[in-house]
Amino acid sequence: MASSSSNVASAPASEPVRAQLQGAEADALITSTDPEHPANLICELCRDFYTLGWVTGTGGGISIRHGKHVYLAPSGVQKERIKPEHIFVLPFAQSSVPKPGSQRDFLRIPTRVGLKESACTPLFWNAFTLRSAGACIHTHSQHAVLLTLLLGKSAKSFRISHQEMIKGVRLGGSGKTLRFFDTLEVPIIENTADEEDLTEGMAKAMEEYPNAAAILVRRHGVYIWGNTWEQAKIQAECLDYLFEMGCKMIQAGLPLVGDD
Amino acid sequence: MASSSSNVASAPASEPVRAQLQGAEADALITSTDPEHPANLICELCRDFYTLGWVTGTGGGISIRHGKHVYLAPSGVQKERIKPEHIFVLPFAQSSVPKPGSQRDFLRIPTRVGLKESACTPLFWNAFTLRSAGACIHTHSQHAVLLTLLLGKSAKSFRISHQEMIKGVRLGGSGKTLRFFDTLEVPIIENTADEEDLTEGMAKAMEEYPNAAAILVRRHGVYIWGNTWEQAKIQAECLDYLFEMGCKMIQAGLPLVGDD
Amino acid sequence: MASSSSNVASAPASEPVRAQLQGAEADALITSTDPEHPANLICELCRDFYTLGWVTGTGGGISIRHGKHVYLAPSGVQKERIKPEHIFVLPFAQSSVPKPGSQRDFLRIPTRVGLKESACTPLFWNAFTLRSAGACIHTHSQHAVLLTLLLGKSAKSFRISHQEMIKGVRLGGSGKTLRFFDTLEVPIIENTADEEDLTEGMAKAMEEYPNAAAILVRRHGVYIWGNTWEQAKIQAECLDYLFEMGCKMIQAGLPLVGDD
Amino acid sequence: MASSSSNVASAPASEPVRAQLQGAEADALITSTDPEHPANLICELCRDFYTLGWVTGTGGGISIRHGKHVYLAPSGVQKERIKPEHIFVLPFAQSSVPKPGSQRDFLRIPTRVGLKESACTPLFWNAFTLRSAGACIHTHSQHAVLLTLLLGKSAKSFRISHQEMIKGVRLGGSGKTLRFFDTLEVPIIENTADEEDLTEGMAKAMEEYPNAAAILVRRHGVYIWGNTWEQAKIQAECLDYLFEMGCKMIQAGLPLVGDD
């Protein structure tokens, strides 16, 4: 039970206490020989994303929703070295966004001392609840960050058209794919001192831009989601390609929208 | 038979129905312990091309003609994760260009639900029929796309000379290799909303430029072919090198043709 | 004993002679099946750093302090091909900075002919003694070197703010992490003809900038440390990211400090 | 004997015929379980160089002199896929530079049809005879090629000073290492239509610049050598780093020589 675990805050009396799993029952959630089990996939994908420069220096990560469970990487650790036993598991519920710092609601908390759940948890939740996403990727890709700088402080979004790679991005991240002549638009929100304080701004941008497949965070990175981990990864690759191309086009003085 | 397979459209009565292979007979086409069998090679090469940034976000791919069979990767899937059992096989015939969306003529269709043959099929066919190619590679390399943007909308081709790497490219893609002092010319065609609509434009460019070893598609990528998969890959590497060098030379204000 | 080993200089009579380990006793210091043992880690991390372009051409490296022992890579060898048996081991003492060229104080000297201890040894010692660091990384990253050139000869430090990746860097390299709005400052010292002659300049800069997590060396590279090898590596990745971003921002005419 | 092998040209009566090895005797030259045997090393290093972008599209390669034998990769094949059985072996003699196209003097010729010895053979021989080198590396690195373009047609050499990485380069390629304050100079020769026609120009530049550790070939690449394969590789990495840094400095308007 949560209250018997030393690294779990006691729940106030006014809030319901959920059953936190322990030992073998908890480990069963993250133990599988299937390489596509979320606990294995998160480790593999984090290694891949590290190679792409998306999650160096512990930045970024991925969360996967698997049925009624959400799998999360820990915070502040080397993402390319995560192992399944380091994965956090939360029950998924539309109504409850987990609060960073409180591990009250977790089904599984890694036993290794010092591991904390990702500060991105409530931001991943935005994708799960507002877009019914099955996975959400967060990167600190330099292409995303440099793009928000090159576009300038007054730019509220990144817009680009007439690029084949636009066709790999879906309306709202989970709808049908865009067409070559469509204009892709990704809103940009301002960064905050603490990652969890981005939650409201990200939710607001997702509501204002219902067709957006991602949210750029100025001087920080990007959040990208999809119905499945495959669709989230495919869109992350297409969008990162377009962010990089956008940087090069701005630097070469080429217009981002239209085909001139 | 095709009509008994749930993910194959029934052929209209007015068209001849070919024998589609099923089960073990179909799988024999893609099962081999030889790493150079097309079904194995396509998987390996797609992983390599992913690392080079040529086929991220499901874009691009490779098709190999092996005797009387053509091997194709599926469309819209992560190219670096393809397995031999995902490969489509078509009979090769000069006269019949397979229509995208119709799987009537396929010898083997993967049984995994949701796999579609590559939309590039008729474009690969251009290389097989107009150049007798044995393999055709399609990439979304940023070097190819940026080059078509830097050259400007009025440029009908990319021309470069006096580069050692030109010597790795063959006349028409399948003839003798170019010399250092030759001018390499790669035509650029405009992109279309749907990939199969490029078929005619690509064929026209191949006829207008019989010495061209590749066709650039503005804001999209490039198609490159060769007598064998080795020659297609070697030329893809030489051309991508020259596209990258071309971008750098344009940005540095250096002339692409001549040795000044 | 040291005096019986042919590749160890005899200690002058006026200096105390330490016991140098030989044979199995010496090898026990670098033999472990634990991949996180310093002798194994240094080899693995050097391979990783090579891939990142930090230690090509034998440049750069890492030293790890493990209890009362300091582990060092050899000098002038291919860092991506180091094996545990090539590792030097020194006793750690605050008071004694080992002099390059003298192997008198070493606990273990590799038996392979021609291996010399890293010329960076006294610079790593600065991190161990002045910051109580547990590990110190030295890179020749082009981002670090180009940054010192782009900032110009009069710049005494690199300053940047409003970047999410700043949050992965610690006050003084071993204190609490910086915040998004903090300004990160990394002092730049001038290079010297011989690496060991940087020792004093690096120590002086560390004293003048007690909050600095690293020291840039103009036209040379950077020294970065942390309480543990993990913290040193995380900070090296965050700082290298910021050095690269700094170069791009300077080249794009963007201010490094502030959020305009 | 040479005359009994179908892919070996008959020697004219006026020239001495050497004994060419056949079968098991020939294969013994390239068969070893030692990863540092030249036949194994050439394959491993070509894979590494491919990853660095030095030998894509079959360009570039490495030759290693091992006692009285010289090991060579074949020409025009994918360098990252070479196997030991594809390696050519020549006897080493100061006086005889092998002529491209003639395989008369070879000790071992691979039996796979279509393999030709590298067209770089006489250029590697320059390094072996004029500098007593033990290994010679040829790359088509874009950094080398772009540098020769950015320096302009009138530049007869690349000169750079005040870079730490200069210290990894040796006087003449095989002497003592340069110092930080030394000016590194690499001559640039003009490219020719055929690779073997570079032989004389390369030899002339090596005589004019006895301290040069490499020869740049404009619009083509670079030849780099060393006493051993390790020294050749280390210098290739240091020089490629300096070529890349040189390009960036020229593009940023920074002087290459001096420390302003």
Write the pLDDT tens digit of every residue in B169-191. 999 999 999 999 999 999 999 99
Residues 6+ apart with CB under 8 A from A225: A127, A131, A133, A135, A136, A137, A173, A174, A213, A214, A232, A235
Closest residue by Cα to residue D150 from D259, D234, D254 = D254
- C57 interaction partners in chain D (CB closer than 8 Å): 165, 168, 234-235, 237-238, 241
Q: What is the mean pLDDT of residues C29-49?
A: 96
Checking if the pLDDT of B8 tops 90, the result is no
CB A122 within 8 A of CB A202: no
Q: What is the mean pLDDT of residues A174-193?
A: 96
Ligand-binding annotation for B37, yes or no, is no
Question: What count of Cα atoms within 13 Å lies in the side-chain half-sphere of residue C181?
Answer: 5
The arrangement of strands across the sheet holding D61-66 comes to D88-91, D69-72, D61-66, D135-139, D221-226, D214-217, D183-189, D157-161
Q: Which residue of B has its CA nearest to D191?
A: B164
> What burial class does residue C67 get, using C-beta atoms within 10 Å of its C-beta: 0-12 exposed, 13-18 middle, 19+ buried?
exposed
What confidence score (pLDDT) does residue D219 get?
98
**pLDDT tens per residue, range D102-118:** 667 788 999 887 888 88
Question: In 10 A of CB C14, how many CB atoms?
Answer: 5
How far is residue B152's CA from residue B156's CA, in Å, rounded to a whole number?
A: 9
Angle at D183 between CA C239 and CA C50, to 5 degrees: 35
Q: What is the mean pLDDT of residues D207-220?
A: 98
Checking if the pLDDT of B5 tops 50, the result is no
**D177 secondary structure, DSSP code:** B
What confidence score (pLDDT) does residue C14 get?
41
Structure tokens at A164: 């084949």
Question: What is the pairing mode between strands B135-139 and B221-226?
Answer: antiparallel
Interface mutation vs chain B, best among A141, A170, A184, A237, most B CBs within 10 Å: A237
Instruction: Tell me what the pLDDT averaged over chain B comes to.
Output: 90
In a domain, D67, yes or no: yes
Structure tokens at C56: 């090509």
Q: CB contact, 8 Å: B180 with chain D?
A: yes
Checking if the pLDDT of A82 tops 50, the result is yes
CB D161 within 8 A of CB D258: yes
What confidence score (pLDDT) does residue C105 get?
77
* Chains interfacing with D (3 or more CB pairs < 8 Å): B, C
Ligand-binding annotation for D162, yes or no, is no
Question: In 10 A of CB D227, how many CB atoms?
Answer: 16
Q: At what angle do helices B198-208 and B121-130 cross, to 10 degrees?
A: 20
Ligand-binding annotation for D220, yes or no, is yes
Question: What count of Cα atoms within 13 Å lies in the side-chain half-sphere of residue A54?
Answer: 24
Nearest-CA distance from A13 to chain C in Å? 33
Amino acid at C155: A
Checking if the pLDDT of C148 tops 90, the result is yes
Nearest-CA distance from C182 to chain A in Å? 10
Question: What is the pairing mode between strands D135-139 and A157-161?
Answer: unpaired
Q: What residue has token string 């959020």? A: C259
- C220 interaction partners in chain D (CB closer than 8 Å): 164
Q: CB contact, 8 Å: B209 with chain D?
A: no
Amino acid at B212: A
Q: Report the Cα–Cα distance between both ends of chain A, in Å, rounded.
A: 63
Catalytic residue among D36, D44, D85, D164: D164
Checking if the pLDDT of B6 tops 70, the result is no
Look at chain B and report how many structural domains it folds into: 1
Q: Which residue of C has its CA nearest to A190?
A: C259
**pLDDT tens per residue, range C114-134:** 888 888 999 999 999 999 999
The long-range contacts involving A32-39, CB below 8 angstroms and separated by at least 24 positions, are A37/A66, A38/A64, A38/A66, A38/A69, A38/A71, A38/A87, A38/A229, A39/A71, A39/A84, A39/A87
What string of DSSP letters covers A142-189?
A: HHHHHHHHHT-TT--EEEEES-GGGGGSBGGGTSSBP-TTSEEEEEEE
CB A163 within 8 A of CB A190: no
Q: CB contact, 8 Å: D130 with chain B?
A: no
What confidence score (pLDDT) does residue D117 get?
85
Q: How far is CA A122 from CA A8, A11, A116, A223, B47, in A?
A: 18, 19, 14, 12, 34
**Taking CB atoms and an 8 Å limit, are B149 and A254 in contact across chains?**
yes
Q: Strand pairing partners for C185?
A: C159
How far is residue C30's CA from residue C85's CA, in Å, rounded to a whole number?
A: 7
Closest residue by Cα to residue B141 from B259, B18, B27, B246 = B246
Identify the CATH number of the domain in which residue B196 sits: 3.40.225.10
Structure tokens at A224: 């990208």
Active site residue A196: no
ipTM over 0.85: yes
Amino acid at D86: H
In a domain, D155, yes or no: yes
How far is residue B94's CA from residue C58's CA, in Å, rounded to a whole number?
A: 56
How far is residue D108's CA from residue D22's CA, in Å, rounded to a whole number?
A: 7
- D55 interaction partners in chain B (CB closer than 8 Å): none
Q: Which helix (H) or strand (E) holds B43?
A: helix B38-51
How far is residue C144's CA from residue C240's CA, in Å, rounded to a whole number?
A: 7
**pLDDT tens per residue, range B101-112:** 666 778 899 988
Question: What count of Cα atoms within 13 Å lies in the side-chain half-sphere of residue A23?
Answer: 3
Checking if the pLDDT of B77 tops 60, the result is yes
Q: How confident is the model at residue C18 (pLDDT cuts 50, 70, 90)?
A: low
Say whether B177 sits in a helix, a strand or coil. Answer: strand
Checking if the pLDDT of D164 tops 70, the result is yes
Nearest to A153 among C238, C241, C260 (CB): C260
Closest residue by Cα to residue C236 from A116, A44, A78 = A78
Interface mutation vs chain C, best among D164, D228, D260, most C CBs within 10 Å: D164
Instruction: Tell me what the pLDDT averaged over chain A comes to.
Output: 90
Q: D63's torsion region: left (phi>0), alpha (psi -120 to 50) or beta?
A: beta
Nearest to C56 among D162, D230, D237 (CB): D237
**Taking CB atoms and an 8 Å limit, are C164 and A251 in contact across chains?**
no
Question: In 10 A of CB C69, how many CB atoms?
Answer: 16
**pLDDT tens per residue, range C178-204:** 999 999 999 999 999 888 899 999 999
Interface mutation vs chain D, best among B178, B237, B243, B254, most D CBs within 10 Å: B237
**Taking CB atoms and an 8 Å limit, are A241 and B78 in contact across chains?**
no
Nearest to C168 among A57, A219, A221 (CB): A57
Ligand-binding annotation for D238, yes or no, is no
Closest residue by Cα to residue A85 from A147, A23, A128 = A23
How far is residue C211's CA from residue B84's CA, in Å, rounded to a whole number?
A: 55
In a domain, D44, yes or no: yes
Closest residue by Cα to residue B51 from A52, D46, D44 = A52
**Taking CB atoms and an 8 Å limit, are D252 and C149 in contact across chains?**
yes
What confidence score (pLDDT) does residue A16 get?
41
In a domain, B8, yes or no: no
Between A177 and C2, residue with greater pLDDT: A177
Q: How confident is the model at residue D81 (pLDDT cuts 50, 70, 90)?
A: very high
Q: How far is CA B183 from CA B157, B176, B214, B239, D198, in A?
A: 12, 14, 14, 13, 21
Q: Strand pairing partners for B184?
A: B160
Residue A35 has φ and ψ, to the nearest 5°, of -60, -15
Say whether B35 sits in a helix, a strand or coil. Answer: coil
- Tell me the percentage of chain C whose pLDDT exceeds 90: 77
Question: In 10 A of CB A85, how many CB atoms?
Answer: 16
In a domain, C10, yes or no: no
What confidence score (pLDDT) does residue B176 get?
97
Beta-carbon pairs below 8 A across chains A and B = 57
Task: Check contact A-D (3+ Cβ pairs < 8 Å).
Answer: no
Q: How far is CA C165 from CA A139, C169, C211, in A?
A: 11, 8, 17
What confidence score (pLDDT) does residue A6 get?
35
- B252 interaction partners in chain D (CB closer than 8 Å): 146, 149-150, 251
* Chains interfacing with C (3 or more CB pairs < 8 Å): A, D
Task: Check contact B-C (3+ Cβ pairs < 8 Å).
Answer: no
Q: CB contact, 8 Å: C250 with chain A?
A: no
In a domain, B258, yes or no: no
**Taking CB atoms and an 8 Å limit, are D260 and C153 in contact across chains?**
yes
In a domain, B81, yes or no: yes
Q: Which helix (H) or strand (E) holds B201?
A: helix B198-208
Nearest to D140 among B165, B254, B259 (CB): B165
Nearest-CA distance from C220 to chain D in Å? 5
Q: What is the mean pLDDT of residues A132-160?
A: 98
- D220 interaction partners in chain B (CB closer than 8 Å): 164
Residues 6+ apart with CB under 8 A from A200: none
Checking if the pLDDT of C248 tops 50, the result is yes
What confidence score (pLDDT) does residue A10 get?
38
Nearest-CA distance from C76 to chain D in Å? 8
**pLDDT tens per residue, range D18-76:** 568 888 988 999 999 999 999 999 999 999 999 999 999 999 999 999 989 999 999 88
**Taking CB atoms and an 8 Å limit, are D248 and C191 in contact across chains?**
no
Q: A172's torsion region: left (phi>0), alpha (psi -120 to 50) or beta?
A: left
- Domain of residue A109: give its range: 19-251
> What burial class does residue B202 get, using C-beta atoms within 10 Å of its C-beta: 0-12 exposed, 13-18 middle, 19+ buried?
buried
What confidence score (pLDDT) does residue A100 get?
64
Q: How confident is the model at residue D15 (pLDDT cuts 50, 70, 90)?
A: very low
What confidence score (pLDDT) does residue B102 get?
67
**pLDDT tens per residue, range C61-117:** 999 999 899 999 998 899 999 999 999 999 998 767 777 666 677 889 998 878 888
Interface mutation vs chain A, best among B50, B80, B219, most A CBs within 10 Å: B219
Q: Which helix (H) or strand (E) holds B22?
A: none
- Tell me the percentage of chain B whose pLDDT exceeds 90: 77
Q: How far is CA B58 from CA B49, C76, D244, in A?
A: 11, 43, 32
Checking if the pLDDT of B96 tops 90, the result is no
In a domain, C140, yes or no: yes
**B125 secondary structure, DSSP code:** H
Q: How confident is the model at residue A160 (pLDDT cuts 50, 70, 90)?
A: very high
How far is residue D96's CA from residue B241's CA, in Å, rounded to a whole number?
A: 35
- Tell me the percentage of chain D whose pLDDT exceeds 90: 77
Q: Which residue of B has its CA nearest to A255?
A: B149
What confidence score (pLDDT) does residue C57 get?
96
Structure tokens at D175: 């002497």
Between B137 and B97, residue with greater pLDDT: B137
What confidence score (pLDDT) does residue A114 get?
81
- A248 interaction partners in chain B (CB closer than 8 Å): 142, 146
| In chain C, alpha helices (H) | 23-28, 38-51, 121-130, 142-150, 198-208, 229-251
Cα pseudo-dihedral A143, A145, A151, A153, rounded to 10: 180
Residue A22: alpha-carbon gap to chain centroid:
27
Q: Which of residues 96-125 of D touch B (CB under 8 A)?
A: none
**Taking CB atoms and an 8 Å limit, are D245 and C142 in contact across chains?**
yes
Question: In 10 A of CB A71, how many CB atoms?
Answer: 25
Nearest-CA distance from B35 to chain D in Å? 12
